[in-house]
Structure formats: structure tokens, C-alpha cells
Amino acid sequence: MSNRTQARPFLDGLYGKFVENGIRYFLPSARLEALAIGSHPSRQRVTENPDTSSLILDWLGAQYVLDNGKPFSDHELKLLKSISTVLDSRYRMILDPTLVEQRFELFRGLPEDRYVSAYVDNQPYASGVWKGPDRVEDVIEVFRTTSLSTYENRRISTGTLLFGTQPDPCHAPPSTPSGAMRYSLALTSIRSFYRLCDGLQTLALIDQDGYLAEVIDVEQWAEPFSNTELPVPSADRYQTHSRATLCGGHVCMILTPNGEMKILANGVQVFRFLDGRWRLTDAEQKYEMWSRAIGNSELARRLFVAALNLAEDRRGGLLVVLEDPGSASRLVSRTDLLSSLPDYDPPPISGSKDQLHYLLHQKRVLELPTAVLESVARIDGGIVLDRDSKLLAVGAILRHHDLTDFHPENIEGGRTTAAVAASRFGDVLKVSEDGLISFFQNGKCIWDM
């Protein structure tokens, strides 16, 4: 009889709760329902239903239905399998006395950190039984401690590049220097460690065994890919970091001065730790949805990058692309419209922002430098434009009438209310001052990232 069938019922029940908590942590809007006990207590699998919006999960003899309300992305399916892999490895370790020495390492840290680690780098789990080092989890643990510290009364930013396991014709695997230290919590006791790399221009290079091998210039590392287009547009601040991960399976991890953690792989940000929780960005799918909605790839890219840059600076904003330019007068007051410039009737009030409308009259977003677009987006209120990128209003206070039919729940705040209202007339990117970006359409939030 196998170890698993000999396990006490409370252990199976406990790990059933762990898988439920893991799924609800990363997919809070999905509906998870427990079904009857299955007939194969040792089978662990994920089965996609024909409608692609729901899954059957078999876990330790329990069976669940997970309904997402929309098709699961490849990244969400991969994350579900990562959660299952981590918990299966922990379960095996509890039951197998020969693995007792490895238990502490695998059970150290928060469960969600392990799920992220298994998603980003599954090498420690490749043999079916966990084997360290778990480089991603080690870096997360260092970042968590560092985010609570200051250096000379300033918040600390830092970053790492984990050398990948795939072929890289541009970079040779680093050799482990004599006396090299593991990139682990022990480093945080060395005060000068906090000045070693800033996460923007310099990164700590971690070799395949988890040791701090050297400090690199990220721009120099990414130089072979400087002209390579990224799979998804990136914030200007981290374009080079994204390119550094395009080849070789390298992983870039960054701790920002805001206390946010970012994980980039294959040229794309895959996770961010924001507001005290991990978020799967699923950037490829979300950007594709936004670009398809706008129908103009260059306009979609410029607005998306502007939103990313605003989010990095922790500046709020609203970017509204109208289906019909004629609906602008229903959403924006006449004095906020740039088209009201020529007749000056009534004349602008002294000291009001519409005295500056002439600077943007008849301007198109595709003709403006990105820096100018972002400066304009920082003005209190929203930017409104049409599908041809013509600016219709800037710094506009958006009208919102009764929203009961579109959003019957309580709306969080003024910017969210404005985004819901504006999305009745077009597509909206809302940037919160906490760094969250949301896409609204037809009165609903389509995605957050």
C-alpha cells in the first residue's frame, strides 16, 4: 500500500485546503466548487472542459470545478500546475522519511512565493522530487527583507539576473568565484550589499547554483538585443531589463523603491508584487486584447506605454479612446473640449486651463513625442481622443450619469467612476496612483495588471 493511501485523512484535507487557498489567492474572481471524492486518490491532474472557461481539478482524491467566467490563458494554466507541483512535492516530503533533510528548505517561506518560483523556474521540481537550490525563492526572501530596510534613510532598490539554463550565444555561463556567497538572507546582514547594485543600471548576476557571481551593467548585457522588438511593450525604465531576458532563459528580478517586486522572463514581465500580493500579469494576452480593441497597433502601443510609465511614477491618469468623436460632447463639458478653441465663445476664464488649449489644438497622439503625451496625461482629469489619435480633450472632468445599469456595485473612487462612465463611449485605460493599470470597456473592467 502506498504512502499516500496510508496518510491520515486530516493530511489530505489539509492539503486540499492549501490548493484551494492557492487558487483563490491568484484567481480571486474565479469560482471554485468542491465535488465528491474521486475514485483515484493518487491522481493529480487538470482537465479543461470544452467551453474552456472551466476546469476539473483532481487533487488527493478530491475533485473541484474551477469556473473562470472566461477562457483560461496559457499562463493561468501554467500557474495552476505550478501550485499543484509545489504542494505535491511538500506532501511527498512529509510522507517519505528519506527526504526529511530537504523538508526545511521546501517549507521555508510563504506558499505563494513558492508557487511563483515554480512557475518561473521549475528546475528544482523537474525530477518529481524537490531538489534545491530554489534561486527564485531565495531572491524573493532577500527582497522581502530588503523592502523593510532603508539605507541612509532612503528606501532601497536592487535587482538580480538569474543566469538561465537555455543556450545563449551571447553570454558564457559565469564561473563561481572563490569565496562566493549564496544569494540568500545572509547577504542582508552586510550593509554595503545595499549599494552593490541599484536594480536600474546594475544587477547582481546569480549563477545556476544560486551564488552571487558578479555585478553586471544591464544595458551592456542586453546590447545584443538593443534593436529587437519586445513581445509586449514595456515601461521605458525597464525596456533594457526585458531585453536582457530575451535569450538564454535568463530571469530578471527587481525590487523598486516603492517596495514593488517585478519578475521578467522571455522579454515580458510575468509577475509583480503589489499592494502586498503577487499578481500574474499575463501581459501578452492583456495587451493583445487592448490592441485589438483600439484597432490601431501604433496608437495602442503608445497609450499602453504611457500608462505603464505613469504607473511606474505612481501618477494617476485616464486615457479614453472614443468609438465616435461626436460623443465627446456627452462625456466632456464644452469648455474642456479642444475644439471649442476657434470661436472663444464664451472667452476662457482668466487662470483656467482652457487658456492653454491652443497648444494642443488639432494635435494627434501619434504625432506627439511620448514625453509630451505623458506630461499632458499628468494633468488632473482625463485625456480623450478618437480612433485617429486626434486629441479631443485634456485634463477633462468626465461626466457620469446614473451608472446602475452598468455597474450596480459600489465603485471604489472618482477615477474608477469616471472610467466606468467613459467606457460606455469607448475604451479606457485607468492608471491608479498605487501603480495598478485597468482596462474598461462597455461599463466593465476587462482586466487589471
Q: Give, in degrees to the nearest 5, the angle at Cα 28 between 27 and 30.
A: 70
Provide the whole-model pTM: 0.89
Q: Give, in degrees to the nearest 5, the angle at Cα 46 between 127 and 273.
A: 75
Half-sphere CA count of 360, side-chain side, radius 13 A: 30
For residues 423 and 415, the answer to whether their CB atoms sit within 8 Å is no
d(C-alpha 38, C-alpha 45), whole Å = 12
Our measurement of the distance from residue 130's CA atom to the centroid of its chain's CA atoms, rounded to an integer in Å, reads 27
Q: Give, in degrees to the nearest 5, the angle at Cα 182 between 181 and 183.
A: 110
Virtual torsion, Cα 378, 379, 385, 391, nearest 10 deg: -110
pLDDT for 114 equals 94
Length in residues, the chain: 449
Nearest to 241 by CA among 272, 273, 265: 265
Q: Measured over all CA atoms, what is the biggest interatomic distance in the chain, rounded to whole angstroms? A: 88
For residues 428 and 416, the answer to whether their CB atoms sit within 8 Å is no
Count CB neighbours of 333 within 10 A: 14
Q: pLDDT of the chain along its 449 residues, tens only?
A: 444 455 566 777 777 788 889 999 999 988 988 876 544 445 567 777 766 788 888 876 678 889 988 889 999 999 998 998 888 888 877 777 676 666 677 788 899 999 999 999 988 887 767 777 899 999 999 999 999 888 888 889 999 999 998 999 999 999 988 999 999 999 999 988 988 999 999 999 999 999 999 999 999 999 999 999 999 999 999 999 999 999 999 999 999 988 899 999 999 999 999 989 999 999 999 999 999 999 999 999 999 999 999 999 999 999 999 999 989 888 888 777 887 554 555 565 555 666 777 777 888 999 988 888 888 888 888 899 999 999 998 888 887 765 545 454 545 558 888 999 999 999 999 999 999 999 999 999 999 99
Query: What domains, with CATH codes, occur in the chain?
Result: 3-125 (no CATH), 135-280 (3.40.1700.10), 284-448 (3.40.1700.10)
Residues 6+ apart with CB under 8 A from 248: 163, 164, 166, 167, 168, 170, 171
**What does DSSP assign to residue 390?**
B
